[in-house]
Amino acid sequence: MSLATELLRKHEHNIASLTLIPSDGGCFEVTVNDQLIYSKLATGRHAEAGEVLGLIEKLI
């Protein structure tokens, strides 16, 4: 299941909008309300299963 699908299923009542912006070069960044909460570029690795969802849930 994709991160977007997981977020919408679990938190659809909290999400006013969700935007996916395609990128190249291995860029994977997640922002919530203009706050960067995960960056593959900064960590040098892809997020583990549930990692980004956990970071988002801390904010909401």
Q: Give the pLDDT confidence score for residue 12 in this predicted structure.
A: 86
The tens digit of pLDDT for each residue in 27-36 reads: 889 998 889 9
Q: Give the pLDDT confidence score for residue 23 in this predicted structure.
A: 81
Q: What is the pTM of this model?
A: 0.76
SS3 (DSSP) at 2: coil
Domains annotated for the chain, with CATH where assigned, are 3-59 (3.40.30.10)
* Whole-number Å distance between alpha carbons of 8 and 26: 24
Both tokens of 45, joined, read 């690795």
